[in-house]
């Protein structure tokens, strides 16, 4: 398989699955502003996913468009990291995941602005601006919850604890990226700046960086949590129920 296709699909799936999870929040958020904010972030991620998956389909050259990739692959063919597929939990869990992921994407897109693959570089230039907002949004909430009420603090710490086992996978060395020097970013190289940013936020929020006893692995190889198998039926059902239909 073409590593570029795999790389694009991996990044695209991250964005797609997280957009799907954030979409579940809409009409359930703690305040209307957050219905909007989470919807907005989801929309940005969906936009990234569409660009990445469309381009993956073009490079692959087998006639698959963004919808074929999003709706007609099975669980084992998805290449997202496990972090994005875990259930939303309460608002603190979602904000912990947002902090982790948006700070990761911030470093990722910043680095990919120099990708030798033009589409990635173009998308990165655009996405880094969007993700700056996402990261700021998550940062503000981690601060407000961590350094607000006792309940906020307790829940926010629990949120960090819940998502931290999924962090290491984001920065694990990746076969696919290794085959694409200049095009892709080496995930371990993003860890230091990510850590600097996130640890600062966690400290300012009077919270503790968790030290998890276990770590997710293998999302990029299609080894997911059991949660993805419940997300995909909901996402894909209608499309699959009408084979070949246009929408």
* Part of the chain binding other proteins (CB under 8 A), chosen from 56-64, 170-178, 180-188, 215-223: 215-223
Q: Which of 13, 14, 64, 66 binds other proteins (CB under 8 A)?
A: 66
* Part of the chain binding other proteins (CB under 8 A), chosen from 2-10, 171-179, 183-191, 233-241: 233-241
Give the whole-angstrom CA distance, residue 17 versus residue 23: 10
Give the whole-angstrom CA distance, residue 102 versus residue 246: 33
Give the whole-angstrom CA distance, residue 131 versus residue 117: 20
Give the whole-angstrom CA distance, residue 163 versus residue 214: 11
Give the whole-angstrom CA distance, residue 87 versus residue 69: 22
Of the candidates 116, 153, 130, the residue with the CA atom closest to the CA atom of residue 41: 130
Q: Which of 116, 140, 189, 208 binds other proteins (CB under 8 A)?
A: 140
Contact 162, 96 (CB under 8 A): yes
91 binds other proteins (CB under 8 A): yes
Place of tokens 């502003």: 33
233 binds a copy of itself (CB under 8 A): yes
Residue 20 interface partner, choices a copy of itself, other proteins, none, CB cut-off 5-8 Å depending on type: other proteins
Site string for a copy of itself, 73-102 (x = CB under 8 A): -x----------------------------
Q: Considering the complex, what minimum distance in angstroms separates the CB of residue 218 from a copy of itself?
A: 22
Return the number of the residue (163 or 184) whose C-beta is nearest other proteins. Answer: 163
73 binds other proteins (CB under 8 A): no
């Amino acid at each position: 398989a073409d590593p570029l296709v795999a790389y694009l699909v991996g990044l695209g799936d991250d964005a797609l699955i997280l957009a799907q999870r954030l979409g579940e929040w809409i009409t359930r958020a703690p305040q209307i502003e957050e219905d909007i904010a989470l919807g907005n972030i989801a929309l940005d991620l969906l936009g990234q996913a569409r660009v990445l998956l469309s381009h993956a389909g073009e490079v692959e050259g087998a006639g698959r468009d963004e919808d074929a990739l999003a709706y007609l692959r099975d669980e084992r063919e998805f290449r997202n990291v496990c972090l994005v597929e875990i259930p939303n939990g309460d608002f603190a869990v979602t904000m912990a995941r947002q902090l982790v992921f948006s700070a990761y994407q911030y470093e990722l897109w910043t680095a990919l602005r120099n990708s030798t693959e033009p589409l990635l570089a173009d998308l990165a230039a655009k996405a880094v601006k969007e993700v700056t907002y996402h990261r700021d949004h998550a940062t503000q909430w981690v601060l407000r919850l961590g350094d607000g009420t006792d309940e906020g603090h307790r829940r926010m710490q629990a949120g960090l604890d819940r998502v931290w086992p999924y962090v290491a996978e984001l920065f694990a060395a990746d076969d696919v990226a290794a085959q694409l020097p200049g095009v892709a970013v080496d995930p371990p190289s993003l860890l230091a700046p990510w850590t600097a940013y996130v640890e600062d936020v966690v400290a300012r929020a009077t919270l503790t960086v968790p030290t998890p006893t276990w770590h997710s692995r293998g999302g990029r190889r299609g080894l997911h949590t059991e949660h993805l198998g419940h997300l995909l039926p909901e996402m894909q059902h209608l499309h699959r129920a009408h084979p070949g239909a246009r929408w």
